[in-house]
Structure 1
Amino acid sequence: MAEVHTHEADDHDSAYAGLLVNDAHWAFGTDFEDPLAGVDTTVPEGVDAQELAAYCLQLGDDALILSQRLSEWCSRAPDLEEDIALANIALDLLGQARLLLARAAAADPSLVPALPEGSPVPPEDALAFFRSDREFRNVCLVELPNGDFAETICRVLVFSTYRLALFQRLTAHPDAVLRAVAVKGLKELAYHRDFAGRWFLTLARGTEESRRRLEAALAQVWAYRHELGDDQDAEVVLEQVLATSGVAAPGVRPVSTVGGHTEHLSRLLAEMQVVARAHPMGLW
Protein backbone atom coordinates (compact mmCIF):
# COMPACT_ATOMS: atom_id res chain seq x y z
CA MET A 1 0.00 0.00 0.00
CA ALA A 2 2.85 2.38 0.77
CA GLU A 3 4.29 1.91 -2.73
CA VAL A 4 0.95 2.67 -4.35
CA HIS A 5 0.52 5.76 -2.21
CA THR A 6 3.98 6.98 -3.14
CA HIS A 7 3.27 6.45 -6.83
CA GLU A 8 0.06 8.46 -6.65
CA ALA A 9 1.80 11.24 -4.75
CA ASP A 10 4.48 11.42 -7.46
CA ASP A 11 1.88 11.72 -10.22
CA HIS A 12 -0.41 14.29 -8.60
CA ASP A 13 -0.05 17.18 -6.20
CA SER A 14 -2.96 15.83 -4.20
CA ALA A 15 -5.26 12.84 -4.19
CA TYR A 16 -8.04 14.91 -5.75
CA ALA A 17 -5.80 16.03 -8.60
CA GLY A 18 -6.14 12.51 -9.95
CA LEU A 19 -9.71 13.31 -10.87
CA LEU A 20 -8.40 15.45 -13.71
CA VAL A 21 -6.90 12.44 -15.48
CA ASN A 22 -9.09 10.82 -18.12
CA ASP A 23 -9.36 7.39 -16.53
CA ALA A 24 -11.02 5.74 -13.57
CA HIS A 25 -9.26 6.42 -10.26
CA TRP A 26 -10.40 4.73 -7.07
CA ALA A 27 -14.16 5.16 -6.70
CA PHE A 28 -14.48 7.83 -9.37
CA GLY A 29 -15.82 6.89 -12.81
CA THR A 30 -16.11 8.80 -16.07
CA ASP A 31 -18.99 7.00 -17.76
CA PHE A 32 -22.08 7.96 -15.77
CA GLU A 33 -25.09 8.32 -18.04
CA ASP A 34 -27.32 11.34 -18.30
CA PRO A 35 -30.08 10.60 -15.75
CA LEU A 36 -32.65 11.66 -18.36
CA ALA A 37 -31.03 9.83 -21.28
CA GLY A 38 -33.69 8.58 -23.69
CA VAL A 39 -36.43 10.59 -21.99
CA ASP A 40 -38.44 13.18 -23.89
CA THR A 41 -37.74 16.36 -21.93
CA THR A 42 -39.94 18.57 -24.09
CA VAL A 43 -41.99 20.82 -21.84
CA PRO A 44 -45.69 20.02 -22.38
CA GLU A 45 -47.92 22.58 -24.02
CA GLY A 46 -49.53 24.81 -21.45
CA VAL A 47 -46.72 24.36 -18.90
CA ASP A 48 -44.43 27.33 -18.27
CA ALA A 49 -40.84 26.07 -18.69
CA GLN A 50 -39.33 28.53 -16.23
CA GLU A 51 -41.93 27.82 -13.56
CA LEU A 52 -41.46 24.07 -14.03
CA ALA A 53 -37.69 24.43 -13.76
CA ALA A 54 -37.93 26.58 -10.64
CA TYR A 55 -40.26 24.09 -8.99
CA CYS A 56 -38.03 21.11 -9.82
CA LEU A 57 -35.03 23.06 -8.56
CA GLN A 58 -36.76 23.70 -5.24
CA LEU A 59 -37.72 20.04 -4.84
CA GLY A 60 -34.25 18.95 -5.89
CA ASP A 61 -32.54 21.31 -3.45
CA ASP A 62 -34.68 20.03 -0.58
CA ALA A 63 -33.62 16.46 -1.34
CA LEU A 64 -29.98 17.31 -1.95
CA ILE A 65 -29.44 19.26 1.26
CA LEU A 66 -31.25 16.77 3.48
CA SER A 67 -29.27 13.98 1.82
CA GLN A 68 -26.07 15.78 2.74
CA ARG A 69 -27.21 16.22 6.33
CA LEU A 70 -28.21 12.57 6.69
CA SER A 71 -24.90 11.40 5.21
CA GLU A 72 -23.21 13.04 8.19
CA TRP A 73 -24.63 10.20 10.31
CA CYS A 74 -22.40 7.62 8.60
CA SER A 75 -20.51 5.76 11.36
CA ARG A 76 -22.27 7.88 14.02
CA ALA A 77 -25.74 6.33 14.30
CA PRO A 78 -26.78 4.42 17.46
CA ASP A 79 -26.03 1.06 15.83
CA LEU A 80 -25.05 -0.43 12.49
CA GLU A 81 -28.61 -1.10 11.31
CA GLU A 82 -29.64 2.54 11.79
CA ASP A 83 -26.36 3.68 10.27
CA ILE A 84 -27.18 1.77 7.09
CA ALA A 85 -30.82 2.86 7.12
CA LEU A 86 -29.95 6.56 7.32
CA ALA A 87 -27.33 6.13 4.59
CA ASN A 88 -29.94 4.47 2.36
CA ILE A 89 -32.41 7.30 2.97
CA ALA A 90 -29.68 9.79 2.07
CA LEU A 91 -28.99 7.87 -1.15
CA ASP A 92 -32.68 7.80 -2.06
CA LEU A 93 -32.88 11.57 -1.63
CA LEU A 94 -29.68 12.05 -3.61
CA GLY A 95 -31.21 10.08 -6.46
CA GLN A 96 -34.32 12.25 -6.36
CA ALA A 97 -32.15 15.35 -6.32
CA ARG A 98 -30.18 14.24 -9.36
CA LEU A 99 -33.32 13.62 -11.42
CA LEU A 100 -35.01 16.85 -10.33
CA LEU A 101 -31.96 19.03 -10.93
CA ALA A 102 -31.48 17.42 -14.33
CA ARG A 103 -35.12 18.16 -15.14
CA ALA A 104 -34.71 21.76 -14.02
CA ALA A 105 -31.66 22.18 -16.24
CA ALA A 106 -33.41 20.64 -19.24
CA ALA A 107 -36.47 22.85 -18.81
CA ASP A 108 -34.50 26.07 -18.29
CA PRO A 109 -30.79 25.85 -19.25
CA SER A 110 -30.26 29.45 -18.09
CA LEU A 111 -30.35 28.17 -14.50
CA VAL A 112 -27.12 26.22 -14.95
CA PRO A 113 -24.03 28.09 -13.68
CA ALA A 114 -21.39 28.96 -16.26
CA LEU A 115 -18.30 26.74 -16.01
CA PRO A 116 -14.88 26.85 -17.76
CA GLU A 117 -15.09 26.00 -21.44
CA GLY A 118 -14.75 22.29 -21.96
CA SER A 119 -15.75 21.36 -18.44
CA PRO A 120 -17.13 17.80 -18.31
CA VAL A 121 -19.45 18.62 -15.40
CA PRO A 122 -23.07 17.66 -16.29
CA PRO A 123 -25.85 20.22 -15.68
CA GLU A 124 -27.22 18.57 -12.53
CA ASP A 125 -23.75 18.55 -10.96
CA ALA A 126 -23.21 22.17 -11.94
CA LEU A 127 -26.42 23.08 -10.14
CA ALA A 128 -25.40 21.10 -7.08
CA PHE A 129 -21.79 22.23 -6.76
CA PHE A 130 -21.45 25.63 -8.40
CA ARG A 131 -24.26 27.72 -6.95
CA SER A 132 -23.92 29.95 -3.92
CA ASP A 133 -26.08 29.61 -0.83
CA ARG A 134 -28.24 32.52 -2.00
CA GLU A 135 -29.12 30.59 -5.15
CA PHE A 136 -30.38 27.50 -3.34
CA ARG A 137 -34.16 27.22 -2.91
CA ASN A 138 -34.48 24.57 -0.24
CA VAL A 139 -36.51 25.02 2.93
CA CYS A 140 -34.56 25.89 6.06
CA LEU A 141 -35.75 22.73 7.80
CA VAL A 142 -33.39 20.53 5.76
CA GLU A 143 -30.27 22.64 6.31
CA LEU A 144 -30.37 22.75 10.11
CA PRO A 145 -27.60 20.79 11.87
CA ASN A 146 -28.48 17.23 12.79
CA GLY A 147 -28.63 17.59 16.54
CA ASP A 148 -29.16 14.26 18.29
CA PHE A 149 -30.74 11.10 16.88
CA ALA A 150 -34.21 12.13 18.08
CA GLU A 151 -34.02 15.37 16.15
CA THR A 152 -33.06 13.56 12.96
CA ILE A 153 -35.96 11.13 13.44
CA CYS A 154 -38.39 14.03 13.88
CA ARG A 155 -37.06 15.85 10.82
CA VAL A 156 -37.22 12.76 8.60
CA LEU A 157 -40.73 12.00 9.84
CA VAL A 158 -42.10 15.48 9.18
CA PHE A 159 -40.26 16.01 5.90
CA SER A 160 -41.06 12.59 4.40
CA THR A 161 -44.73 12.75 5.45
CA TYR A 162 -45.28 16.03 3.65
CA ARG A 163 -43.14 15.06 0.67
CA LEU A 164 -44.93 11.74 0.25
CA ALA A 165 -48.30 13.52 0.17
CA LEU A 166 -46.88 15.98 -2.35
CA PHE A 167 -45.43 13.27 -4.60
CA GLN A 168 -48.77 11.47 -4.59
CA ARG A 169 -50.31 14.59 -6.12
CA LEU A 170 -47.41 15.02 -8.54
CA THR A 171 -48.17 11.64 -10.10
CA ALA A 172 -50.88 13.55 -11.98
CA HIS A 173 -48.64 16.46 -13.03
CA PRO A 174 -48.83 17.38 -16.74
CA ASP A 175 -45.04 17.07 -17.13
CA ALA A 176 -44.19 13.43 -17.82
CA VAL A 177 -40.69 13.71 -16.35
CA LEU A 178 -41.88 15.13 -13.04
CA ARG A 179 -44.64 12.50 -12.95
CA ALA A 180 -42.07 9.74 -13.39
CA VAL A 181 -39.86 11.16 -10.63
CA ALA A 182 -42.86 11.28 -8.31
CA VAL A 183 -43.91 7.71 -9.07
CA LYS A 184 -40.37 6.47 -8.47
CA GLY A 185 -40.14 8.37 -5.19
CA LEU A 186 -43.35 7.07 -3.62
CA LYS A 187 -41.97 3.78 -2.30
CA GLU A 188 -38.79 5.47 -1.13
CA LEU A 189 -40.63 8.15 0.81
CA ALA A 190 -43.07 5.66 2.29
CA TYR A 191 -40.08 3.76 3.68
CA HIS A 192 -38.52 6.97 5.03
CA ARG A 193 -41.77 7.91 6.78
CA ASP A 194 -42.32 4.44 8.22
CA PHE A 195 -38.72 4.14 9.43
CA ALA A 196 -38.97 7.48 11.23
CA GLY A 197 -42.46 6.69 12.53
CA ARG A 198 -41.34 3.43 14.13
CA TRP A 199 -38.41 5.14 15.81
CA PHE A 200 -40.63 7.99 16.95
CA LEU A 201 -42.87 5.48 18.71
CA THR A 202 -39.86 3.66 20.20
CA LEU A 203 -38.37 6.83 21.62
CA ALA A 204 -41.74 8.02 22.93
CA ARG A 205 -42.31 4.76 24.78
CA GLY A 206 -38.72 4.24 25.87
CA THR A 207 -37.03 5.83 28.85
CA GLU A 208 -37.79 9.18 30.40
CA GLU A 209 -34.64 10.51 28.76
CA SER A 210 -35.57 9.27 25.29
CA ARG A 211 -39.02 10.83 25.58
CA ARG A 212 -37.59 14.10 26.86
CA ARG A 213 -35.20 14.28 23.94
CA LEU A 214 -37.95 13.36 21.47
CA GLU A 215 -40.29 16.09 22.71
CA ALA A 216 -37.49 18.68 22.64
CA ALA A 217 -36.51 17.61 19.12
CA LEU A 218 -40.10 17.69 17.86
CA ALA A 219 -40.53 21.25 19.13
CA GLN A 220 -37.47 22.37 17.15
CA VAL A 221 -38.63 20.68 13.95
CA TRP A 222 -42.27 21.72 14.40
CA ALA A 223 -41.28 25.40 14.29
CA TYR A 224 -40.25 24.90 10.62
CA ARG A 225 -43.17 22.68 9.56
CA HIS A 226 -45.00 25.58 7.91
CA GLU A 227 -42.30 25.73 5.20
CA LEU A 228 -43.64 22.47 3.77
CA GLY A 229 -47.07 23.96 3.08
CA ASP A 230 -50.60 23.15 4.15
CA ASP A 231 -51.42 19.53 3.37
CA GLN A 232 -54.39 17.92 5.09
CA ASP A 233 -53.28 14.39 4.25
CA ALA A 234 -49.84 14.93 5.76
CA GLU A 235 -51.28 16.56 8.85
CA VAL A 236 -53.66 13.64 9.43
CA VAL A 237 -50.77 11.18 9.29
CA LEU A 238 -48.71 13.20 11.75
CA GLU A 239 -51.70 13.49 14.08
CA GLN A 240 -52.03 9.70 14.03
CA VAL A 241 -48.35 9.22 14.85
CA LEU A 242 -48.56 11.67 17.75
CA ALA A 243 -51.74 10.10 19.09
CA THR A 244 -50.30 6.58 18.93
CA SER A 245 -47.12 7.75 20.66
CA GLY A 246 -48.95 9.77 23.30
CA VAL A 247 -47.00 12.89 22.37
CA ALA A 248 -48.77 16.23 22.16
CA ALA A 249 -48.22 18.55 19.20
CA PRO A 250 -45.77 21.26 20.30
CA GLY A 251 -47.23 24.67 20.97
CA VAL A 252 -44.41 26.56 19.31
CA ARG A 253 -44.52 29.65 17.13
CA PRO A 254 -43.33 29.20 13.53
CA VAL A 255 -39.83 30.46 12.84
CA SER A 256 -39.79 33.20 10.21
CA THR A 257 -37.84 31.94 7.19
CA VAL A 258 -38.96 34.51 4.64
CA GLY A 259 -36.23 35.81 2.38
CA GLY A 260 -33.29 33.59 3.10
CA HIS A 261 -31.52 30.70 4.74
CA THR A 262 -29.90 30.09 8.07
CA GLU A 263 -26.17 30.51 8.54
CA HIS A 264 -25.87 26.72 8.49
CA LEU A 265 -26.40 26.38 4.73
CA SER A 266 -23.24 28.22 3.71
CA ARG A 267 -21.17 26.01 6.01
CA LEU A 268 -22.80 22.87 4.65
CA LEU A 269 -22.17 23.95 1.06
CA ALA A 270 -18.57 24.86 1.80
CA GLU A 271 -17.92 21.26 2.77
CA MET A 272 -20.10 19.70 0.09
CA GLN A 273 -18.72 21.79 -2.79
CA VAL A 274 -15.05 22.18 -1.90
CA VAL A 275 -13.64 19.41 -4.11
CA ALA A 276 -15.76 20.25 -7.15
CA ARG A 277 -14.88 23.95 -6.94
CA ALA A 278 -11.18 23.13 -6.56
CA HIS A 279 -11.30 20.93 -9.69
CA PRO A 280 -14.02 22.25 -12.02
CA MET A 281 -12.47 20.29 -14.90
CA GLY A 282 -12.58 17.05 -12.92
CA LEU A 283 -14.32 13.89 -14.06
CA TRP A 284 -16.55 12.40 -11.38
Structure 2
Amino acid sequence: MPPGSPPGESPSAADPDLARHLTCLGDDALVLAQRLCQWITRAPTIDEDLALSNIALDLIGHARTLLSRAGRLDGTGRGEDDLAYSRSEREFTNALLTELPNGDFAMTVARQLAYTHYAVLHYEALAHCVDPDLAAFGVRAAKEVAFHRLHADRWTVTLGRGTPESTRRMQRALERVWPYTGELFEENDVLRRLAASGTVPSPAALHDTWLARVTEVVTEAGLAVPAPSWSATGGRSGLHTEEFGPLIAELQSVRRQFPGGTW
Protein backbone atom coordinates (compact mmCIF):
# COMPACT_ATOMS: atom_id res chain seq x y z
CA MET A 1 0.00 0.00 0.00
CA PRO A 2 2.15 2.90 -1.18
CA PRO A 3 1.66 6.28 0.49
CA GLY A 4 0.32 9.30 -1.35
CA SER A 5 -2.86 10.21 -3.12
CA PRO A 6 -4.75 7.62 -5.14
CA PRO A 7 -4.74 8.27 -8.90
CA GLY A 8 -7.03 11.13 -9.84
CA GLU A 9 -7.38 12.46 -6.31
CA SER A 10 -5.98 15.87 -5.48
CA PRO A 11 -3.95 16.57 -2.32
CA SER A 12 -5.94 17.73 0.70
CA ALA A 13 -5.32 20.70 2.98
CA ALA A 14 -4.64 19.92 6.63
CA ASP A 15 -7.80 19.25 8.65
CA PRO A 16 -7.07 17.58 12.02
CA ASP A 17 -10.76 17.12 12.87
CA LEU A 18 -11.56 15.27 9.66
CA ALA A 19 -8.31 13.32 9.91
CA ARG A 20 -9.34 12.12 13.37
CA HIS A 21 -12.77 10.99 12.19
CA LEU A 22 -11.49 9.24 9.07
CA THR A 23 -8.91 7.44 11.20
CA CYS A 24 -11.71 6.15 13.43
CA LEU A 25 -13.64 4.84 10.42
CA GLY A 26 -10.50 3.39 8.85
CA ASP A 27 -9.56 1.67 12.07
CA ASP A 28 -13.05 0.16 12.32
CA ALA A 29 -12.68 -1.35 8.86
CA LEU A 30 -9.08 -2.50 9.31
CA VAL A 31 -9.59 -4.14 12.70
CA LEU A 32 -12.82 -5.88 11.68
CA ALA A 33 -11.13 -7.13 8.51
CA GLN A 34 -8.34 -8.61 10.60
CA ARG A 35 -10.86 -10.39 12.80
CA LEU A 36 -12.69 -11.81 9.77
CA CYS A 37 -9.41 -12.99 8.26
CA GLN A 38 -9.01 -15.25 11.28
CA TRP A 39 -11.88 -17.34 9.88
CA ILE A 40 -9.84 -18.31 6.81
CA THR A 41 -9.58 -22.14 6.76
CA ARG A 42 -11.75 -22.21 9.92
CA ALA A 43 -15.19 -21.16 8.67
CA PRO A 44 -18.08 -23.66 8.89
CA THR A 45 -18.11 -24.27 5.12
CA ILE A 46 -15.93 -23.46 2.11
CA ASP A 47 -18.58 -21.01 0.91
CA GLU A 48 -18.39 -19.14 4.20
CA ASP A 49 -14.60 -19.19 4.10
CA LEU A 50 -14.79 -17.38 0.75
CA ALA A 51 -17.62 -15.07 1.81
CA LEU A 52 -15.87 -13.86 4.96
CA SER A 53 -12.59 -13.48 3.06
CA ASN A 54 -14.27 -11.32 0.44
CA ILE A 55 -15.97 -9.19 3.08
CA ALA A 56 -12.58 -8.70 4.74
CA LEU A 57 -11.06 -7.64 1.41
CA ASP A 58 -13.77 -5.01 0.94
CA LEU A 59 -13.09 -3.69 4.44
CA ILE A 60 -9.35 -3.52 3.78
CA GLY A 61 -10.14 -1.47 0.68
CA HIS A 62 -12.22 0.91 2.82
CA ALA A 63 -9.43 1.15 5.37
CA ARG A 64 -6.88 1.98 2.68
CA THR A 65 -8.97 4.84 1.32
CA LEU A 66 -9.83 6.26 4.73
CA LEU A 67 -6.38 5.96 6.31
CA SER A 68 -4.63 7.29 3.22
CA ARG A 69 -6.84 10.40 3.29
CA ALA A 70 -6.41 10.74 7.06
CA GLY A 71 -2.64 10.66 6.69
CA ARG A 72 -2.76 13.54 4.23
CA LEU A 73 -5.04 15.57 6.47
CA ASP A 74 -3.32 15.19 9.84
CA GLY A 75 -0.18 17.10 8.86
CA THR A 76 2.25 14.31 9.77
CA GLY A 77 2.94 13.05 6.27
CA ARG A 78 2.13 9.47 7.25
CA GLY A 79 0.81 7.03 4.65
CA GLU A 80 -1.72 4.24 5.02
CA ASP A 81 1.00 1.70 5.84
CA ASP A 82 2.35 3.90 8.62
CA LEU A 83 -1.08 4.22 10.17
CA ALA A 84 -1.84 0.51 9.84
CA TYR A 85 1.48 -0.95 10.91
CA SER A 86 3.42 1.61 12.96
CA ARG A 87 0.97 2.80 15.59
CA SER A 88 0.74 1.40 19.10
CA GLU A 89 -2.44 -0.16 20.52
CA ARG A 90 -3.39 3.08 22.28
CA GLU A 91 -3.20 5.01 19.02
CA PHE A 92 -5.93 2.94 17.37
CA THR A 93 -9.39 4.51 17.62
CA ASN A 94 -11.70 1.75 16.39
CA ALA A 95 -14.97 1.05 18.14
CA LEU A 96 -14.64 -1.82 20.61
CA LEU A 97 -17.32 -3.77 18.72
CA THR A 98 -14.96 -4.36 15.80
CA GLU A 99 -12.23 -5.95 17.91
CA LEU A 100 -14.43 -8.41 19.80
CA PRO A 101 -13.10 -11.97 19.38
CA ASN A 102 -14.82 -14.05 16.73
CA GLY A 103 -16.12 -16.62 19.17
CA ASP A 104 -18.40 -19.13 17.48
CA PHE A 105 -20.01 -18.44 14.11
CA ALA A 106 -23.12 -16.96 15.75
CA MET A 107 -20.96 -14.42 17.57
CA THR A 108 -19.37 -13.32 14.30
CA VAL A 109 -22.80 -13.05 12.66
CA ALA A 110 -24.12 -10.91 15.53
CA ARG A 111 -21.12 -8.58 15.32
CA GLN A 112 -21.59 -8.30 11.55
CA LEU A 113 -25.30 -7.62 11.96
CA ALA A 114 -24.65 -4.69 14.28
CA TYR A 115 -21.73 -3.23 12.32
CA THR A 116 -23.07 -3.59 8.78
CA HIS A 117 -26.40 -1.92 9.50
CA TYR A 118 -24.52 1.00 11.08
CA ALA A 119 -21.94 1.19 8.27
CA VAL A 120 -24.53 1.23 5.49
CA LEU A 121 -26.37 4.11 7.15
CA HIS A 122 -23.16 6.04 7.79
CA TYR A 123 -21.82 5.64 4.27
CA GLU A 124 -25.19 6.46 2.71
CA ALA A 125 -25.19 9.70 4.69
CA LEU A 126 -21.54 10.34 3.82
CA ALA A 127 -22.52 10.15 0.14
CA HIS A 128 -24.31 13.49 0.62
CA CYS A 129 -21.46 15.34 2.33
CA VAL A 130 -19.90 18.47 0.86
CA ASP A 131 -16.52 16.85 0.13
CA PRO A 132 -16.76 15.32 -3.39
CA ASP A 133 -14.08 12.69 -2.76
CA LEU A 134 -15.67 11.53 0.49
CA ALA A 135 -19.09 11.57 -1.12
CA ALA A 136 -17.86 9.33 -3.95
CA PHE A 137 -16.29 6.98 -1.42
CA GLY A 138 -19.55 6.90 0.55
CA VAL A 139 -21.50 5.82 -2.54
CA ARG A 140 -19.11 2.96 -3.28
CA ALA A 141 -18.70 1.82 0.33
CA ALA A 142 -22.45 1.84 0.99
CA LYS A 143 -23.05 -0.47 -1.97
CA GLU A 144 -20.35 -2.89 -0.84
CA VAL A 145 -21.42 -2.98 2.80
CA ALA A 146 -25.03 -3.54 1.71
CA PHE A 147 -23.93 -7.00 0.55
CA HIS A 148 -22.20 -7.59 3.88
CA ARG A 149 -25.44 -6.60 5.61
CA LEU A 150 -27.45 -9.02 3.49
CA HIS A 151 -25.05 -11.81 4.45
CA ALA A 152 -25.44 -11.00 8.16
CA ASP A 153 -29.24 -10.68 7.91
CA ARG A 154 -29.61 -14.06 6.21
CA TRP A 155 -27.42 -15.84 8.73
CA THR A 156 -29.18 -14.20 11.68
CA VAL A 157 -32.52 -15.52 10.44
CA THR A 158 -31.07 -18.91 9.48
CA LEU A 159 -29.51 -19.47 12.90
CA GLY A 160 -32.44 -17.95 14.79
CA ARG A 161 -34.93 -20.23 13.04
CA GLY A 162 -32.67 -23.25 12.88
CA THR A 163 -32.18 -25.85 15.57
CA PRO A 164 -32.70 -25.23 19.31
CA GLU A 165 -28.91 -25.09 19.65
CA SER A 166 -28.43 -22.54 16.85
CA THR A 167 -31.28 -20.44 18.27
CA ARG A 168 -29.69 -20.49 21.73
CA ARG A 169 -26.28 -19.54 20.37
CA MET A 170 -27.60 -16.72 18.19
CA GLN A 171 -29.53 -15.19 21.08
CA ARG A 172 -26.50 -15.52 23.34
CA ALA A 173 -24.34 -13.83 20.68
CA LEU A 174 -26.73 -10.89 20.41
CA GLU A 175 -26.63 -10.47 24.19
CA ARG A 176 -22.82 -10.48 24.07
CA VAL A 177 -22.54 -7.95 21.25
CA TRP A 178 -25.27 -5.45 22.13
CA PRO A 179 -23.48 -3.56 24.95
CA TYR A 180 -20.81 -2.62 22.40
CA THR A 181 -23.15 -1.08 19.85
CA GLY A 182 -23.77 2.23 21.60
CA GLU A 183 -20.21 3.42 20.98
CA LEU A 184 -20.86 3.47 17.23
CA PHE A 185 -23.24 6.39 17.74
CA GLU A 186 -21.31 8.42 20.29
CA GLU A 187 -20.49 12.03 19.52
CA ASN A 188 -17.65 14.22 20.71
CA ASP A 189 -16.66 17.82 20.05
CA VAL A 190 -14.81 16.86 16.87
CA LEU A 191 -17.83 15.09 15.40
CA ARG A 192 -20.15 17.91 16.39
CA ARG A 193 -17.98 20.43 14.55
CA LEU A 194 -17.75 18.23 11.47
CA ALA A 195 -21.49 17.52 11.44
CA ALA A 196 -22.35 21.20 11.91
CA SER A 197 -20.26 22.10 8.87
CA GLY A 198 -21.82 19.34 6.76
CA THR A 199 -18.45 17.63 6.37
CA VAL A 200 -19.60 14.26 7.75
CA PRO A 201 -22.91 12.91 9.08
CA SER A 202 -23.70 12.80 12.78
CA PRO A 203 -23.65 9.16 13.94
CA ALA A 204 -26.10 9.94 16.75
CA ALA A 205 -28.76 10.81 14.17
CA LEU A 206 -28.49 7.32 12.69
CA HIS A 207 -29.26 5.35 15.85
CA ASP A 208 -33.04 5.17 15.67
CA THR A 209 -33.03 4.00 12.05
CA TRP A 210 -30.31 1.46 12.87
CA LEU A 211 -32.31 0.11 15.80
CA ALA A 212 -35.48 -0.18 13.73
CA ARG A 213 -33.69 -2.09 10.97
CA VAL A 214 -31.84 -4.54 13.20
CA THR A 215 -35.00 -5.06 15.25
CA GLU A 216 -36.82 -6.09 12.10
CA VAL A 217 -34.15 -8.70 11.31
CA VAL A 218 -33.93 -10.00 14.87
CA THR A 219 -37.71 -10.29 15.07
CA GLU A 220 -37.86 -12.16 11.77
CA ALA A 221 -35.30 -14.54 13.22
CA GLY A 222 -37.62 -15.25 16.16
CA LEU A 223 -35.16 -13.73 18.61
CA ALA A 224 -35.32 -10.92 21.15
CA VAL A 225 -33.54 -7.59 20.82
CA PRO A 226 -31.27 -7.33 23.88
CA ALA A 227 -31.70 -4.56 26.43
CA PRO A 228 -28.23 -4.33 28.00
CA SER A 229 -27.79 -2.72 31.40
CA TRP A 230 -24.41 -1.23 30.49
CA SER A 231 -22.64 0.23 27.46
CA ALA A 232 -19.00 -0.25 26.54
CA THR A 233 -16.94 2.75 25.53
CA GLY A 234 -13.32 3.86 25.22
CA GLY A 235 -12.24 2.51 21.85
CA ARG A 236 -12.45 5.92 20.19
CA SER A 237 -10.08 7.21 22.89
CA GLY A 238 -7.58 4.38 22.48
CA LEU A 239 -8.78 2.25 25.41
CA HIS A 240 -9.22 -1.32 24.20
CA THR A 241 -10.08 -4.82 25.36
CA GLU A 242 -7.34 -7.16 26.50
CA GLU A 243 -7.81 -9.25 23.33
CA PHE A 244 -6.83 -6.26 21.19
CA GLY A 245 -3.08 -6.47 21.84
CA PRO A 246 -2.61 -9.92 20.28
CA LEU A 247 -4.78 -8.92 17.31
CA ILE A 248 -2.65 -5.86 16.52
CA ALA A 249 0.55 -7.83 17.10
CA GLU A 250 -0.66 -10.32 14.50
CA LEU A 251 -1.59 -7.53 12.07
CA GLN A 252 1.78 -5.79 12.41
CA SER A 253 4.07 -8.80 12.81
CA VAL A 254 5.58 -8.89 9.30
CA ARG A 255 6.14 -5.12 9.12
CA ARG A 256 7.81 -5.14 12.52
CA GLN A 257 9.96 -8.16 11.69
CA PHE A 258 11.07 -6.66 8.37
CA PRO A 259 10.91 -2.85 8.81
CA GLY A 260 11.17 -1.07 5.49
CA GLY A 261 10.79 -4.31 3.56
CA THR A 262 9.22 -4.27 0.12
CA TRP A 263 7.67 -6.95 -2.06
Normalised-by-shorter TM-score class: 0.7 to 0.9
* Structure 1: 4+ residue segments shifted above 6 A: none
Distance across 1 between alignment mates of 2:3 and 2:81: 13
Q: Does 1:39 align with 2:9?
A: yes
Number of residues paired by the alignment? 240
1:175 to 131, 141, 146: 131
What TM-score do the two structures reach when normalised by structure 1? 0.81
Residue of structure 2 in register with 1:277 after alignment: 256
Residue of structure 2 in register with 1:7 after alignment: none
Residue of structure 1 in register with 2:217 after alignment: 241
Q: Which has the larger radius of gyration?
A: 1
Residue of structure 1 in register with 2:178 after alignment: 222
Residue of structure 1 in register with 2:192 after alignment: none
Distance across 1 between alignment mates of 2:2 and 2:184: 33
Query: Shift in Å at residue 254 of structure 1?
Result: 2.8
CA deviation profile, 1:55-82 (whole Å, cap 9, x unmatched): 1100000000000000000011110111
Contact 2:218/2:224 (8 A) holds in 1: yes
Contact 2:16/2:75 (8 A) holds in 1: no
Q: Which amino acid aligns with 1:67?
A: A
Aligned residues: CA RMSD: 1.7
Query: Shift in Å at residue 279 of structure 1?
Result: 1.5
Residue of structure 2 in register with 1:25 after alignment: none
Unaligned runs of 5+ in 1: 1-30, 113-122
Distance across 1 between alignment mates of 2:166 and 2:126: 36
Query: Shift in Å at residue 88 of structure 1?
Result: 0.5
Residue of structure 2 in register with 1:82 after alignment: 48
Distance across 2 between alignment mates of 1:37 and 1:201: 41
Residue of structure 2 in register with 1:28 after alignment: none
Relative to structure 1, the CA distance from residue 111 to residue 224 in structure 2 (aligned partners, 3 Å threshold; closer, same or farther) is farther
Unaligned runs of 5+ in 2: 186-203
Contact 2:2/2:81 (8 A) holds in 1: no
Contact 1:103/1:177 (8 A) holds in 2: no
Q: Does 1:252 align with 2:208?
A: no
Contact 1:130/1:273 (8 A) holds in 2: yes
Q: Which amino acid aligns with 1:216?
A: R
Q: Percent same amino acid at aligned positions?
A: 43
Distance across 1 between alignment mates of 2:16 and 2:58: 26
Distance across 2 between alignment mates of 1:36 and 1:232: 35
Contact 1:35/1:98 (8 A) holds in 2: no
